[in-house]
Amino acid sequence: MSERLDAAKKARTKVFGVLSSLPAERICDHGEGVYLFDQDGRQYIDFSGSPMACCLGHGDQRITRAVTEQMQKVSLCFNTYWINEREGELAERVLRRAPRNMARCQFLNSGSEATESAIKLARQYHLENGQPGKYMVISRWQSYHGMTLGALSVTGFSSRRDKFTPLLQSWPKIDAPLCYRCPYDMTYPGCEVRCARALDDIINQVGAQYVSAFIAEPIGGAASAAMVPVPEYYPLIREICDKHDVLFIDDEVICGFGRTGKWFGIDHWGVQPDIITMAKGMTGAYTPLAAILVSDRIVGVFEQTGGKFINAFTTAGNPVSCAAGIAVVDIIENEGLVERSARLGEYLHRRAREKLSHHPVVGDIRGRGMLMGVELVRDKATKEPFDSSLLAGSRVHRLAMEKGCMVFPTSGFVHGVRGDAIMMAPPYIITEAQIDAALDMVDESLADFAQEIAG
Ligand SMILES: Cc1ncc(COP(=O)(O)O)c(C=O)c1O
């Protein structure tokens, strides 16, 4: 082992709380385009977008320049004393691409903070609107909205929740709209989208007078490995929310900024949410930045009452992160990268089906655009998942990494305790040849994994 790697491994023992099933073996030295390079100069294709945030690839000097220029001027500008020019410029850009009813933007630091803020905003909206009894946020199982306590309360990802259960709000959850493992053992379209109608049932059950919002990822992330609900799902959800005066919070932390082939994931359904949360792709993960978008309906009520949303964070909307966001959004727009994500996303899904679906361990390939999940199963015919102690996803991740390809392992979407998948979310600048090369490495890794478990 090189001295440098030795020293880095030793120093890493001082880092607390690294969440990985298998230890990391390499230093991430630098990045260029779709590749990351280790301490020996070996390249790894970032097929998981580092994870699921890196939309423009690594080392884009246009973003480095935008950030550096802003840093040379000023890095923090408290918006209660000053007009932060970059903040306003980015808000205008983001709102231009968002669903039409979105009227304002509040910047934050992380996706989890955006979820917290959306839960708080929903609550304060109902207070301002003369409905002080509404506070509860309904969400879904097999969902992920962040690690902080409010966000974890609405998260339906058992392995991330269970140690903290006594600290969480015990708000109701409905089943995930995952057709491959339909919670009602029904088949679409005969099911009449039972999974969406479940929201109506639960609101009636707990009492609409207590429910402030429903939160969902338009296309699932790590907790469901890129689950795509059927076309009727969100129009029905919108109708049910309206019927009960419940706000619809759309978590676009993964899907936003072109990841699924539209600016926002919910655009695939043409539905207008009341609050949108976003993070990752907004700066391509060059700097931490998140936001909530607020609809005209909510803004109207606050304007009427003169209420101020009680929510502020020291570094939120700092001009450096906003400068990164402006550069990223302009590049996405000027280079047609949302359209590219849609086009290459179709290629990615077609080639993945051609190259991977023959594997006995591949149960389902799902997702949209540059977001794809490959569910791993012990038995393809019965869909029986692997035993969780086998760490199927992490093992395929490790095997792929050895070949020079990064995929994101996830687990626990079968009743919270079983179910394994690997996810792909490459930068939108990836080429067809690079997709093929990465899928070949995944193909070999799946074959190696099948051999490992057989032997
Ligand atoms: C859908 C979704 N919401 C919220 C979050 C939390 O974001 P962060 O990790 O920036 O706090 C994530 C993180 O992966 C996510 O995937």
Convert the pLDDT of each residue in 168-189 to its tens digit: 999 999 999 999 999 999 999 9
Determine if the peptide bond prior to 409 is cis (ω within 30°): no
Q: Does any ligand 1 atom lie closer than 6 A to the CB of residue 145? A: yes
What is the mean predicted confidence (pLDDT) over 22-40? 93
In angstroms, the CA 296 to CA 315 distance is 26
Conformation bin of residue 311: beta by default, left when phi > 0, alpha when psi is -120 to 50: beta
Query: 186 C-alpha vs ligand 1 centroid, how far in Å?
Result: 30
Neighbour count for residue 97 (Cβ, 10 Å): 18
Strand 290-295 relative to strand 275-278, pairing = antiparallel
In this structure, is the dihedral angle defined by the CA atoms of residues 154, 157, 162 and 163, taken in order, positive or negative?
negative
Q: Does any ligand 1 atom lie closer than 6 A to the CB of residue 155? A: no
Judged against a pLDDT cut of 90, whether residue 289 lies above it is answered with yes
Query: 253 C-alpha vs ligand 1 centroid, how far in Å?
Result: 6
Question: 79-83, 256-260, 349-353, 444-448: which has the minimum mean pLDDT?
Answer: 79-83
Strand 275-278 relative to strand 43-45, pairing = unpaired
- Whose tokens are 């009449």? That residue is 192
Paired residues of 424 in beta bridges: 372
Atom 4, ligand 1: residue with shortest CA distance: 145
Q: Does any ligand 1 atom lie closer than 6 A to the CB of residue 428? A: no
Which DSSP state fits 410?
Answer: E
Query: 113 C-alpha vs ligand 1 centroid, how far in Å?
Result: 9
User: Which of 10-19, 137-146, 413-422 has the highest mean predicted lDDT (pLDDT)?
Assistant: 137-146
What is the mean predicted confidence (pLDDT) over 68-77? 97
Confidence bin at 25 (pLDDT 50/70/90):
confident
Judged against a pLDDT cut of 90, whether residue 51 lies above it is answered with no
Q: Which fold has domain 74-334?
A: Aspartate Aminotransferase; domain 2 (3.40.640)
Which of 280, 286, 315 is the pocket-test mutation for ligand 1 (most atoms within 8 Å of CB)? 280
Q: Does any ligand 1 atom lie closer than 6 A to the CB of residue 289? A: no
Q: Does any ligand 1 atom lie closer than 6 A to the CB of residue 144? A: yes
pLDDT tens per residue, range 60-72 = 999 999 999 999 9
Angle subtended at Cα 173 by Cα 172 and Cα 178, rounded to the nearest 5 degrees: 170
Judged against a pLDDT cut of 70, whether residue 101 lies above it is answered with yes
199, 237 contact by CB (below 8 A): yes
pTM score, two decimals?
A: 0.98
Query: 421 C-alpha vs ligand 1 centroid, how far in Å?
Result: 18
Mean pLDDT of the chain: 96
Q: Does any ligand 1 atom lie closer than 6 A to the CB of residue 111? A: yes
Atom 7, ligand 1: residue with shortest CA distance: 111
Judged against a pLDDT cut of 90, whether residue 391 lies above it is answered with yes
**Could you give phi then psi for residue 112, rounded to 5 degrees?**
-65, -40
The whole-number pLDDT of residue 21 equals: 75
In angstroms, the CA 197 to CA 230 distance is 13
Q: By three-state DSSP, how is residue 41 classified?
A: coil
In angstroms, the CA 103 to CA 300 distance is 10
Query: 294 C-alpha vs ligand 1 centroid, how far in Å?
Result: 19
In angstroms, the CA 275 to CA 132 distance is 19
Q: Which fold has domain 3-59+336-454?
A: Aspartate Aminotransferase, domain 1 (3.90.1150)
The whole-number pLDDT of residue 170 equals: 94
Q: Does any ligand 1 atom lie closer than 6 A to the CB of residue 218? A: no
In angstroms, the CA 198 to CA 214 distance is 12
Q: Delimit the domains of the chain by residue range.
A: 3-59+336-454, 74-334
What is the mean predicted confidence (pLDDT) over 283-301? 97
- Whose tokens are 């727009």? That residue is 333
150, 115 contact by CB (below 8 A): yes
Query: 1 C-alpha vs ligand 1 centroid, how far in Å?
Result: 35
Which of 253, 277, 292 is the pocket-test mutation for ligand 1 (most atoms within 8 Å of CB)? 253
Confidence bin at 1 (pLDDT 50/70/90):
low
Max Cα distance, the chain (Å): 69
Judged against a pLDDT cut of 90, whether residue 276 lies above it is answered with yes
For residue 396, give the nearest of 147, 228, 225, 180 by alpha carbon: 225
What is the mean predicted confidence (pLDDT) over 405-410? 97
What is the mean predicted confidence (pLDDT) over 316-330? 98
Kindly report each contact of residues 23-30 with a partner whose C-beta sits within 8 Å and lies 24 or more positions away, as own/partner. 25/401, 26/401, 30/58, 30/59
Angle subtended at Cα 146 by Cα 21 and Cα 95, rounded to the nearest 5 degrees: 135
Ligand 1 atom closest to residue 148's alpha carbon, by position in its atom list? 11
In angstroms, the CA 149 to CA 369 distance is 31
Q: Percent of the chain at pLDDT above 70? A: 100
What is the mean predicted confidence (pLDDT) over 96-113? 98
Query: 156 C-alpha vs ligand 1 centroid, how far in Å?
Result: 13
Ligand 1 atom closest to residue 51's alpha carbon, by position in its atom list? 14
In angstroms, the CA 409 to CA 391 distance is 9
